[in-house]
Amino acid sequence: MDDQQCDDASRPDPRNKLNDLTGREWVYALRSVITTRYPTSGPEAYAHTLRRRHPSPKPPQLMAELIRFFTRRGGHVLDPFAGVGGTLLACSLEGRTGVGIELAQEYADCYYHVCQTLQLAPQPLIVGDARHLHAYAEVVARPFDLILTDPPYAAMQARTKTGEHKKRGRSAATPFTDSTADLGNLDYQTFLSELRNIVEQALVWLKPGGHLVLFTKDLQPAHDHHNMLHADIVQTLWSVPRLAFRGYRIWHDQSQNLYPFGYPFAFVANQVHQFILIFRYA
Ligand SMILES: C[S@@+](CC[C@H](N)C(=O)[O-])C[C@H]1O[C@@H](n2cnc3c(N)ncnc32)[C@H](O)[C@@H]1O
């Protein structure tokens, strides 16, 4: 960081009420692409071998980076689509408190098993339905500084796989659950409107000035729609009162395999990235 930009970039600025970062750490956290290759074994894997029973677990280190930017030590974080607890594990690692909601008992059980294995104090992960957030005492108890969540990518997981995956005998769908309450089992438009309803409910417990940080991934384009889910989510949440879209970061996961989709006839992208959409609540 240029020293003229900040008197002492190695210390937190007393005007900074958002996080505990120094000026230098703040600048580093603004890069629009986060490139990672997290280990899948050893202590830095945070029990990945257990968490991988979920089709899409988020690395706790990645969630920790976001939590460090959008909260201060002791901050309070909500994840309405908690899975096996990437967000909640990061809360424990970073000295924040968290509350998660997850539809599937098996993922919640896995989270508690992971906490035991890592000797981390668990955060409450409630087995329930994010469409009824107001029904959970842990959610309504006090306001949150951050909603950090990773909802289903519309029905991406519930689709039977085609092309290269099929050729390799991996065509089976991998839905998160078989439940009709699972947002991953809804058609595209219903998914978007249910997601909006859940976000509007969750905002009731977000502090003014707090952030909503939401992961998503695009689907492959189809003849009738571009399927840029990240753009459709921004559009859907655009008119939510007091919620402002502040931009996105891209998570480039270098551990993703590359497949010869379309070879040698047509371009079909290997999606090795996800979008991290950032909104601020006024
Ligand atoms: C992309 S995954 C989240 C993974 C999580 N970030 C992790 O680290 O494990 C989305 C999760 O949302 C859950 N889910 C889907 N619909 C839900 C609903 N109505 N209420 C609560 N959870 C739901 C799914 O079971 C799935 O585990």
In a domain, 21, yes or no: no
- In angstroms, what is the span from residue 98 Cα to ligand 1's centroid? 15
The answer as to whether 136 is a domain residue is: yes
Q: 181: Cβ below 6 Å to ligand 1?
A: yes
pLDDT of residue 9: 86
In a domain, 12, yes or no: no
Structure tokens at 138: 């842990």
Residue 151 CA, closest ligand 1 atom number: 10
Per the structure, how many domains does the chain have?
Answer: 1
Q: How far is CA 234 from CA 8, 118, 140, 224, in A?
A: 36, 36, 26, 20
Which pLDDT value is given to residue 172? 77
Q: Specify if 249 maps to a domain.
A: yes
**How crowded is the C-beta side of 36, counted as CA atoms within 13 Å?**
18
Q: Is residue 151 part of a domain?
A: yes
Where do the H-state alpha helices sit in the chain?
23-28, 48-51, 60-70, 86-94, 105-118, 137-140, 163-167, 188-203, 229-237
130 lines ligand 1 (CB under 6 A): yes
- The preferred substitution site among 67, 81, 107, 190 for testing ligand 1, maximizing ligand atoms within 8 Å of CB, is 81
Residues of the chain scoring pLDDT < 50: 3
The pLDDT value recorded for residue 3 is: 47
Determine which residue's CA is closest to atom 16 belonging to ligand 1.
182
Q: Is residue 11 in some structural domain? A: no
Percent of the chain with pLDDT over 90: 89
Q: Is residue 81 within 6 Å of ligand 1 at its C-beta?
A: yes
Residue 26 maps to a domain: no
For the domain that residue 146 is a member of, what is the CATH number?
Answer: 3.40.50.150
Domain carrying residue 49: 31-281
Task: Verify whether ligand 1 is closer than 6 Å to residue 215 (CB atom).
Answer: no
Task: Give the 3-state secondary structure of residue 212.
Answer: strand
Burial label for 169, CB within 10 Å (0-12, 13-18, 19+), is: exposed
Structure tokens at 96: 């924040």
| Residue 176 alpha carbon, nearest atom of ligand 1 | 25
pLDDT in tens, 155-199: 988 777 666 666 666 667 889 999 999 999 999 999 999 999 999
Q: Give yes or no for residue 56 CB within 6 A of ligand 1.
A: yes
- Residues contacting residue 235 through CB under 8 Å, at least 6 positions apart: none
Q: Is residue 126 part of a domain?
A: yes
Mutate to test the pocket of ligand 1, among 127, 183, 233 (most ligand atoms within 8 A of CB): 183
For residues 38 and 62, give the distance between their C-alpha atoms in angstroms, rounded to a whole number.
9
Q: Is the CB of 127 under 6 A from ligand 1?
A: no
Tell me the three state secondary structure of residue 280: strand
**Residue 125 near ligand 1, beta carbon < 6 Å:** no
